[in-house]
């Protein structure tokens, strides 16, 4: 095969990406009742511990695999393909790696994870075994959370009642899922009383990025537990970027079409790459919005699966305070005893810094995000003032709000299956024409919504591709020669209106 080679950027830790890395440590102490963190939803899995080598396209221009997207799934797939000694081209539409897991140190003076921040269930993946820079520090998250009741913290008895009701609600959903894939909200216990808005927020928007009215009971029940978390002091995005170190990446290279009529041809604004296989790791919303055109088109069954795994809404409103304005410990997680859906969560003093994140999610978060960053900041500031007093607003030095629903390369936060749609995850694991595999957090039955789930999915897709390529390699020489001649004939007489591989426009820097 021939193809137009694109310029390759080899990711160098803390240099290539536009989001830098730094860290600071500070501890604020206060004693108040705590509530043990319970399992909400999905967890994550294992990061690869192998070497991250960068495999470039061959001299002829063709590659074994084109990987679309350099988030966790794409990076994991690239590492596995490289370890196997196969050639690949890793394409990323944005100007940085990481996808929905990026660390920004330009907006504030400290690391700021714009997307994923929690490393769920760290014991399930060998982070300690990774060959990463010594300046990366991973540490346990506090094993508890707090609940604000108006201007005070919940008393121990209130916390115990809340915990009991939360566990009861989770069990009710799991019990219902054993017989039918129903709407989560419909099977909640009737005795939640005035804790109902809080329980619904934690299990729905906070855990699934969607209200429980939009979440599959089976998807909820199948998700692995999130009993323990860890944080990366330099930012989760920094850790993920470190795992991409040494991998050849084509940044700012969005994919226009993936054509599987003769082999695989991936078209970008900079040219077309020919390959034997492809792994597509873009979000479900990107595929549903036809941001990438597949030729031939995906089946109705596959398109329906993408629609049933639409991304929810989850954003951070970040405040940098002058001092410890909230009087909270490092990495404290705080909920309120809510009276409506207009609520949020607080992750305070992130990694001991003066940065706190106000988490807004679900349908309320989506509506708020649609109003713009100023409206999001205004809500978060007023919400905090209602819980901690008006002086909190005076202590805000700088602010920022993410708006993932409006990010052109993601169009949302993470997936949660619609009622009746949990089986869509397995549908997306099926290859397209034995040439294209999908990967990402949505393509995992139990680890959806997590970076670890995306990573494992990327590795699984890479393994499937390697099996496919090994099968090709084992074909008889006569059959290989016949396939090569057939491709050669196609190159000499391309179908009108469609350039052959290698006949796309030349790369334009």
Span 292-347, pLDDT tens digits:
999 999 999 999 999 999 999 999 999 999 999 999 999 999 999 999 999 999 99
Its pTM stands at 0.83
Residue 55 has pLDDT above 80, yes or no: no
pLDDT of residue 395: 97
pLDDT for residue 374: 98
Give the pLDDT confidence score for residue 505 in this predicted structure.
35
d(CA 449, CA 455): 11
Q: Which among 371, 369, 447, 375 is positioned nearest to 414, based on CA atoms?
A: 447
Structure tokens at 476: 């008889």
Closest to 252 measured CA to CA, from 103, 90, 464: 90
Mean predicted confidence (pLDDT) in 460-475? 84
More confident residue, 475 or 135: 135
Residue 144 clears pLDDT 80, i.e. is over it: yes
Q: Is pLDDT of 398 > 90?
A: yes
The one-character DSSP state at 57 is P
List the chain domain ranges: 9-25+43-139+231-311+410-491
Evaluate the CA torsion angle 317, 322, 327, 329 in order and state its sign: positive
pLDDT in tens, 79-107: 999 999 999 999 999 999 999 999 999 99
Contact criterion met (CB below 8 Å) for 260 and 295: yes
Flag the least confident range among 21-35, 119-133, 300-314, 335-349. 21-35
Domain 9-25+43-139+231-311+410-491 has CATH 3.40.50.300: no
At residue 109, the pLDDT reads 87
Decide which of 148 and 244 is more confident: 148
pLDDT of residue 59 exceeding 80, the answer is no
Q: What is the model's pLDDT at position 120?
A: 82
Higher pLDDT among residues 13 and 458, named by residue: 458
How far apart are alpha carbons 91 and 70 in whole angstroms? 7
pLDDT single digits (tens) 193-240: 999 999 999 999 999 999 999 999 999 999 977 667 899 999 999 999
Cβ pair 19, 96 in contact under 8 A: yes
The chain-wide mean pLDDT, for the chain, equals 83
% of the chain with per-residue pLDDT over 70? 77
DSSP letter at 203 equals I
Q: What are the b/e assignments for 94-133, b being 16+ CB within 10 Å?
A: bebbbbbbbbbbeebebbbbbbbbbbbbbebbebeebebe
* Interacting residues of 504 by C-beta distance below 8 A, sequence separation 6+: 4, 267, 271, 272
How many residues in total does the chain contain?
Answer: 509
Residue 472 pLDDT class (50, 70, 90 cuts): low
Q: Which has the closest alpha carbon to 73: 364, 464, 376? A: 464
- pLDDT for 225 equals 72
Q: Round to the nearest angstrom and report the end-to-end CA distance of the chain.
A: 23
CA distance 287 to 291: 6
Region of 68 on the Ramachandran plot (φ > 0 left; ψ -120 to 50 alpha; else beta): beta
């Amino acid at each position: 095969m021939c193809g137009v080679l694109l310029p390759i950027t080899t990711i160098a830790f803390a240099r290539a990406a536009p989001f830098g890395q730094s860290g600071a440590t500070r501890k604020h102490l206060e004693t108040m009742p705590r509530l043990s963190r319970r399992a909400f939803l999905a967890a994550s899995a294992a990061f690869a511990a192998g070497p991250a080598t960068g495999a470039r396209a061959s001299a002829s221009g063709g590659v074994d695999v084109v990987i679309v997207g350099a988030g966790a799934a794409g990076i994991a797939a690239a590492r596995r393909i490289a370890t196997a000694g196969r050639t690949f081209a890793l394409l990323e539409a944005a100007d940085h790696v990481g996808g929905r897991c990026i660390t920004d140190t330009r907006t504030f003076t400290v690391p700021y994870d714009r997307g994923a921040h929690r490393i769920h269930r760290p014991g399930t993946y060998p982070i300690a075994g990774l060959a990463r820079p010594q300046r990366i520090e991973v540490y346990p998250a506090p094993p508890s959370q707090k609940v604000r009741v108006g201007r005070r913290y919940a008393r121990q008895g209130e916390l115990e009642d809340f915990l009991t009701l939360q566990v009861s609600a989770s069990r009710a959903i799991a019990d219902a899922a054993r017989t039918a894939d129903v709407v989560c909200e419909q099977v909640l216990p009737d005795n939640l009383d005035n804790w109902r808005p809080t329980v619904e927020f934690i299990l729905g928007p906070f855990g699934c990025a969607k209200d429980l009215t939009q979440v599959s009971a089976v998807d909820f029940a199948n998700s692995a537990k999130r009993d323990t978390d860890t944080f990366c002091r330099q930012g989760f995005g920094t850790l993920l970027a470190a795992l991409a170190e040494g991998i050849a990446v084509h940044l700012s290279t969005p994919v226009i079409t993936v054509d599987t009529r003769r082999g695989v041809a991936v078209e970008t604004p900079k040219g077309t790459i020919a390959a034997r296989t492809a792994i597509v790791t873009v979000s479900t919303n990107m595929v549903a919005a036809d941001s990438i055109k597949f030729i031939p088109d995906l089946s109705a069954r596959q398109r329906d699966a993408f629609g049933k795994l639409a991304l929810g809404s989850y954003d951070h409103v970040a405040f940098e305070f002058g001092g410890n304005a909230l009087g909270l410990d490092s990495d404290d997680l705080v909920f309120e005893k809510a009276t409506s859906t207009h609520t949020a969560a607080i992750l305070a003093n992130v990694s001991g810094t003066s940065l706190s994140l106000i988490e807004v999610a679900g349908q309320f978060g989506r509506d708020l995000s649609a109003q713009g960053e100023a409206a999001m900041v205004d809500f978060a500031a007023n919400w905090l003032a209602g819980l901690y007093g008006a002086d909190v607003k005076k202590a805000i030095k700088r602010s920022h709000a993410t708006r993932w629903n409006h990010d052109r390369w993601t169009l949302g936060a993470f997936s949660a299956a619609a009622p009746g749609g949990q089986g869509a995850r397995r549908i997306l694991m099926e290859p397209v024409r034995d040439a294209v595999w999908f990967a990402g957090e949505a393509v995992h039955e139990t680890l959806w919504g997590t970076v670890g789930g995306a990573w494992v999915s990327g590795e699984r897709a890479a393994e499937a591709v390697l099996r496919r390529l090994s099968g090709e390699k084992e074909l008889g020489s006569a059959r290989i020669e016949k396939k090569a001649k057939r491709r050669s004939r196609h190159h000499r007489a391309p179908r009108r209106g469609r350039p052959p591989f290698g006949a796309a426009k030349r790369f334009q820097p």
